[in-house]
């Protein structure tokens, strides 16, 4: 079996993740921040370590501004619903995941508008087009760091600079880049960083967060959820301080224990080394696919301009049929069809049939990739002869 | 018997952050359950040496970790 669906969720996870989860459940288990006994303290210490590691990975100076959520979708919703008010306008791109576009569309009913700036068909985005879409009502630029369909990296640092210059907040959806592309919140001028723990961060599902930059005043954020935090228990209103303002209800401590192990592994391995490995995977995958007759590859087709996510189609075969054959006949697991980002497929010209998406991960081997592309070549030959 | 200083925090995340900052700065500090005579919601607090209390508080202020009250208690 060859797993090439790391853009959906990474697998296998980082070494030590499963053990950390087991250890937490077996030896600790208690609720952090709710009690003063030793196991509650140990749980709180574990969560705190994960906060510190997260802040460290993204260059965030204050770990108390790391708010844990269940995934990036949850984090994006916390940011958009929490900060936008009627009359506000948001600038975004045409390759966003539904996790960005759906909340923005829902907010449309509350008088909040957005402009999705068109990307080129390879997903690339000209920062000047973002700047041109800014209106007097614009308060935020909200963008994915990379297309989850095409892999294309968007020029986040340039756009962060534009946001800063124009006095706007910059929200970055780092779902597909956190853990495999260097991210430095202060340098890239990111005010709100939404991440998910289960993709390139190599942690378990049910983990993620929103890192809130220094320019965002917590008093401006309306919490989407309110409830128990273990703090200010005598009052019936939400505490005003971070992280409790946005972190209520018992945390996914089990998942965070695993995420902590993953972050420690990534920090030790080094993001730059991980990025180099992923680029090598991308280069090999692109070279091999390019050589297969009947295969058309979408996206920038350049390992420096994209993540290790490659979308393609086989002439004469639907993506869904290809996906089924790759799994059943070759044991190759990937995602096919529309990848929760309809506008990205429209941008690339792959709507509505979608694409076949191969997404190797850090643990994918050279052989995995060549074997998978051989299988694609086999299917392509059959499709053209039938 | 010298007094020790108890620093209370609004939430456990702040206690943990403060503990790390103080230890990283080479200050002596200990995490304890909130003493009976005091009260705090999160159930835990930090205890520091009296002679380091001022430095500790200044550091926490500088790094913007909220703390509620500082109380002196006799060392156990
Ligand atoms: C760019 C992007 N945004 C958002 C998501 C959604 O992630 P999650 O399901 O973890 O919220 C994904 C992945 O599915 C993604 O690639």
User: Confidence class of residue B35 from pLDDT cuts 50, 70 and 90?
Assistant: confident
Q: Where are the beta strands (DSSP E) in A225-354?
A: 295-297, 310-314, 332-333, 335-337
Whether the CB-CB separation of A351 and A345 falls below 8 Å is answered with: yes
Q: How far apart, in whole angstroms, are the C-alpha atoms of residue A34 and residue B16?
A: 14
CA–CA min distance A198, chain B (Å): 23
**Which tens digits make up the pLDDT trace of A226-236?**
999 988 888 89
Report the residue of chain A nearest B43, measured CA to CA: A36
The answer to whether the CB atoms of A231 and B12 lie below 8 A apart is yes
DSSP letter string, A50-88: HHHHHHHHTT-S-GGGEEEESSHHHHHHHHHHHH--TT-
Compare CB distances from B42 to A45, A230, A243 and report the shortest one's residue. A230
pLDDT at A224 over 90: yes
The answer to whether the CB atoms of A244 and B34 lie below 8 A apart is no
pLDDT at A293 over 80: yes
Range from A27-36, A265-274, A371-380 carrying the lowest mean pLDDT: A27-36
Q: How far apart, in whole angstroms, are the C-alpha atoms of residue A303 and residue A348?
A: 18
Per the structure block, which two tokens stand in for A109? 């009913």
User: Confidence class of residue B72 from pLDDT cuts 50, 70 and 90?
Assistant: confident
- DSSP bridge pairs for A170: A141
Instruction: Kindly list the residues from chain B whose CB atom is less than 8 angstroms away from the CB atom of residue A64.
Output: 13-14, 17, 64-65
Question: Measuring from atom 12 of ligand 1, which residue has the nearest CA?
Answer: A175
Q: Where are the beta strands (DSSP E) in A206-340?
A: 208-212, 295-297, 310-314, 332-333, 335-337
Instruction: For each of the domains in chain A, give its residue range(s) and CATH number, in order of start.
Output: 2-10+271-385 (3.90.1150.10), 17-269 (3.40.640.10)
Most B-contacting residue of A63, A231, A240, A248 (CB-CB within 10 A), to test interface? A231
**Which tens digits make up the pLDDT trace of A36-47?**
899 999 999 999
What percentage of chain A has pLDDT greater than the value 90? 96
Q: What is the pTM of this model?
A: 0.96
- Pairing relationship of beta strands B44-49 and B29-33 according to DSSP bridges: antiparallel
Report the residue of chain A nearest B36, measured CA to CA: A36
Whether the CB-CB separation of A311 and A350 falls below 8 Å is answered with: yes
Whether the CB-CB separation of A214 and A55 falls below 8 Å is answered with: no
Task: Supply the pLDDT for residue A34.
Answer: 82
Alpha carbon of A39 to ligand 1 centroid (Å): 33
Per the structure block, which two tokens stand in for A161? 């600079």
Q: Where are the beta strands (DSSP E) in chain A?
A: 2-3, 66-69, 89-93, 113-117, 138-144, 169-173, 192-196, 208-212, 295-297, 310-314, 332-333, 335-337, 355-358
The per-residue pLDDT of chain A, averaged, comes to 97
CB atoms within 10 A of CB A337: 17
Q: In what order do the strands lie in the sheet with A355-358?
A: A295-297, A310-314, A355-358, A335-337
Q: How far apart, in whole angstroms, are the C-alpha atoms of residue A45 and residue A39?
A: 10
Q: How far apart, in whole angstroms, are the C-alpha atoms of residue A109 and residue A49?
A: 40
Q: How far apart, in whole angstroms, are the C-alpha atoms of residue A163 and residue A90?
A: 11
Which letter does DSSP use for residue B51 in this model? G
Q: What is the dihedral of CA A225, A227, A233, A236, to 10 degrees?
A: 80
Q: Using a CB cutoff of 8 Å and minimum separation of 24, what contacts does A363-367 make?
A: A363/A12, A364/A2, A364/A3, A364/A4, A364/A6, A364/A281, A366/A284
pLDDT at A20 over 70: yes
Report the residue of chain B nearest A47, measured CA to CA: B13
User: Confidence class of residue B2 from pLDDT cuts 50, 70 and 90?
Assistant: low
Sign of CA dihedral B69, B70, B73, B76: positive
Task: Supply the pLDDT for residue B1.
Answer: 42
User: Confidence class of residue B4 from pLDDT cuts 50, 70 and 90?
Assistant: confident
Q: How far apart, in whole angstroms, are the C-alpha atoms of residue B55 and residue A298?
A: 58
Instruction: Kindly list the residues from chain B whose CB atom is less than 8 angstroms away from the CB atom of residue A236.
Output: none
The answer to whether the CB atoms of A232 and B10 lie below 8 A apart is yes
Give the CA diameter of chain A: 74
Question: Measuring from atom 5 of ligand 1, which residue has the nearest CA?
Answer: A175
Q: Is B39 on the interface with A (CB under 8 A)?
A: no
Most B-contacting residue of A50, A64, A260 (CB-CB within 10 A), to test interface? A64
Task: Supply the pLDDT for residue B42.
Answer: 76
pLDDT at B76 over 70: no
Per the structure block, which two tokens stand in for A140? 């935020």
Mean pLDDT within B27-44: 84
Q: How far apart, in whole angstroms, are the C-alpha atoms of residue A10 and residue A87?
A: 39
For residue B61, the enclosing domain spans 4-73
Q: Is B33 on the interface with A (CB under 8 A)?
A: yes
Q: Domain with B9 in it: what CATH number?
A: 3.30.70.1940
The answer to whether the CB atoms of A244 and B33 lie below 8 A apart is no
User: Confidence class of residue A318 from pLDDT cuts 50, 70 and 90?
Assistant: very high
Nearest to A339 by CA among A125, A175, A193, A124: A175
pLDDT at A321 over 50: yes
pLDDT at A96 over 60: yes
Task: Supply the pLDDT for residue A35.
Answer: 84
Alpha carbon of B75 to ligand 1 centroid (Å): 52
Mean pLDDT within A350-368: 97
Q: How far apart, in whole angstroms, are the C-alpha atoms of residue A350 and residue B75?
A: 71
Q: How far apart, in whole angstroms, are the C-alpha atoms of residue A248 and residue A96?
A: 28
Q: Buried (b) or exposed (e) across A250-270, using 16+ Cβ within 10 A?
A: ebbbbbbbbbbbbbbbbeebe
User: Confidence class of residue B75 from pLDDT cuts 50, 70 and 90?
Assistant: low
Per the structure block, which two tokens stand in for A29? 């288990």
The answer to whether the CB atoms of A243 and B13 lie below 8 A apart is yes
Total domains present in chain B: 1
Mean pLDDT within A46-52: 98
CB atoms within 10 A of CB B66: 16
């Amino acid at each position: 079996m060859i797993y090439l669906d790391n853009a959906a969720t990474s697998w296998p996870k980082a070494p030590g993740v499963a053990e950390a989860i087991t250890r937490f459940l077996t030896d600790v288990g208690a609720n952090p921040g709710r009690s003063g006994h030793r196991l509650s303290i140990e749980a709180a210490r574990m969560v705190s370590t994960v906060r510190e590691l997260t802040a460290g990975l993204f260059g965030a100076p204050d770990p108390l501004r790391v708010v844990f959520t269940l995934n990036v979708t949850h984090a994006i919703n916390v940011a958009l619903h929490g900060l936008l008010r009627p009359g506000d306008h948001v600038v975004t791109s045409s390759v966003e995941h539904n996790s960005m576009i759906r909340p923005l569309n829902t907010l449309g009913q509350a008088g909040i508008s957005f402009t999705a700036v068109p990307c080129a068909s390879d997903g690339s985005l000209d920062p000047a087009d973002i700047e041109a879409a800014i209106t007097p009502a614009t308060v935020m630029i909200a963008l994915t760091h990379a297309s989850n369909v095409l892999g294309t990296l968007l020029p986040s640092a340039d756009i962060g600079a534009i946001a800063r210059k124009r006095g706007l907040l910059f929200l970055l959806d780092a779902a597909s880049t956190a853990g495999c592309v260097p991210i430095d919140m202060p340098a890239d001028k990111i005010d709100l960083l939404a991440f998910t723990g289960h993709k390139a961060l190599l942690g378990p599902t049910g983990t993620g967060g929103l890192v809130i930059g220094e320019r965002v005043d917590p008093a401006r954020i309306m919490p989407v959820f309110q409830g128990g935090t273990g703090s200010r228990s005598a009052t019936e209103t939400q505490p005003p301080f971070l992280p409790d303002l946005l972190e209520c209800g018992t945390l996914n401590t089990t998942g965070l224990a695993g995420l902590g192990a993953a972050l420690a592994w990534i920090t030790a391995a080094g993001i730059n080394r991980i990025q180099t490995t992923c680029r090598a995977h991308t280069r090999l995958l692109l070279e091999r696919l390019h050589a297969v007759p009947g295969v058309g590859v979408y996206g920038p087709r350049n390992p420096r301009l994209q993540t290790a996510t490659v979308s393609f189609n086989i002439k004469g075969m639907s993506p869904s049929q290809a996906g089924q054959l790759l799994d059943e006949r070759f044991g190759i697991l990937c995602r096919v069809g529309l990848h929760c980002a309809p506008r990205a497929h429209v941008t690339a010209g792959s709507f509505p049939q979608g694409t076949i998406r191969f997404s190797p991960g850090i643990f994918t081997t050279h052989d995995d990739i060549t074997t998978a592309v051989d299988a694609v070549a086999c299917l392509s030959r059959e499709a053209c002869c039938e | 018997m010298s007094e020790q200083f108890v620093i209370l925090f609004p939430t456990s995340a702040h206690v943990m952050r403060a503990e790390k900052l103080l230890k990283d700065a080479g200050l002596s500090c200990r995490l304890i359950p909130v003493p009976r005579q005091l009260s705090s919601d999160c159930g835990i607090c930090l205890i520091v040496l009296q002679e380091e209390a001022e430095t500790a508080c200044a550091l926490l202020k500088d790094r913007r970790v909220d703390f509620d009250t500082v109380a002196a208690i006799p060392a156990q």
